[in-house]
Structure 1
Amino acid sequence: MSAVSESANLTDRLGFLLATRGDATKARIQIAMGAVNLPPRHAMTLMHLRDGPRSQREIADILEIDPSQLVAILNDLECRGQLERRRDPIDRRRHIVELTEAGAATLEAMQSALDEAERELFSGLSEADRALLRDLLNRVSVTVEHGECSGEMVPSSESSAPAAARKP
């Protein structure tokens, strides 16, 4: 009998499959995002404005980033004509951020590019399979986000974890 277990085949390991397929999926999504020339956090900022104006603080909280980091993102998007900032007439200390027509058009183009990428990536799955995959990945994500995994987690530079939760 071999000292290596039967389950040593990497392609049978869920973590390995998620990591390798995740890299391929990420690469395809980045190509789609390249169609609108927006980094992920810029795109997420626009997506959170699609339902209407928000305060800068709300956006920072939703994105789980420091407000000072958000300012750089908003400055860039404002220079691109994707959004507008204005002072809140009720509380002049607050800034309200709103999508422009150009921002809405960019968001529409991004959604189309992402829809096409997902059609390609998941063409072998039925709608029920996609729903199941979405549910399972969300459940795994909750486990990971709540630290129920053992071992040291090393977030990537584009991690969605809040800065305060990251280790130096």
Structure 2
Amino acid sequence: MKASHADAVPSAALALARTELGEELEFMRLLWAVAHGMSSTSRVMEEAMGVTDLQRRVVWMASRFPGITASRLASVLHLHPSTLTGVVKRLVQRGHLLRQEDPLDMRRALLFVTESGRKLDVPDTYTVEGAVQRLFARIPRETLSEARELLTALAEELHRADEEHGGEAPPSEMAKQAQ
């Protein structure tokens, strides 16, 4: 297993860096570490299993909710519909998903997992959900509940900020000062 950059930094230096960052940046540093870990795990999954974490999540959801609409799936996974369209297209091409038009509304797509897709929907050590399962096995329920509340509040705050600006980034204070 490769040593990470953080492993190469002495723990005293890390402790000092954490102190100097302040609460907000330290919290964000941890979020970045999670995002990086998910991205790295996704690359390993693609090499080992032939699918990324996102593709596996799509298969996972479609296997648990056969006939789920693409729009509902995008909402549940917090994806832009155009992002999901590309993921679904690749999974259909590889034979892991079946995409059918909704007979009641031809504009909607219904998603079903194929036999090939079901083979991807098995527990595996090298997946993001495997890491989450291992975490859940060792963290007290009350801690998990508090973490869920915190992450939910952060997601709501980010969503609120996005809605307030219509999905477009407002000019930042730094950008205004640079002009």
- Shorter-normalised TM range: 0.5 to 0.7
Partner of 1:34: 43
Cα shift readout 1:45-97 (whole Å, capped 9, x = no counterpart): 3343222212334334444424x443322210111222001233344443322
- Highest RCO, 1 vs 2 (Cα 8 Å, sep ≥ 6): 1
Q: CA separation of 1:21/1:123 partners in 2, compared to 1, >3 Å: closer, same or farther?
A: farther
> Are the equivalent residues in 1 in contact too, given 2:41–2:53 (CA < 8 A)?
no
Partner of 2:66: 52
What amino acid is aligned across from residue 77 of structure 1 in structure 2? L
User: What RMSD in Å do the two structures reach over aligned CA positions?
Assistant: 3.4
Q: CA separation of 1:10/1:145 partners in 2, compared to 1, >3 Å: closer, same or farther?
A: farther
SS at 1:81 equivalent: coil
- Percent of residue pairs identical: 17
Q: CA separation of 1:83/1:127 partners in 2, compared to 1, >3 Å: closer, same or farther?
A: same
Partner of 2:168: 166
Matched, 1:117 2:131: yes
The two structures have a TM-score, normalised by structure 2, of 0.60
2:93 to 79, 88, 91: 79
Cα shift readout 1:29-52 (whole Å, capped 9, x = no counterpart): 233333432445434433432222
Structure 1 residues without counterparts, runs of 5 or longer: 1-7, 148-152, 154-160
What amino acid is aligned across from residue 10 of structure 1 in structure 2? E
What amino acid is aligned across from residue 86 of structure 2 in structure 1? A
Paired residues in the alignment total: 145
Distance in 2 (alpha carbons) for counterparts of 1:32 and 1:40: 8
> Are the equivalent residues in 2 in contact too, given 1:33–1:110 (CA < 8 A)?
no
What amino acid is aligned across from residue 168 of structure 2 in structure 1? R
**Structure number with higher helix proportion:** 2
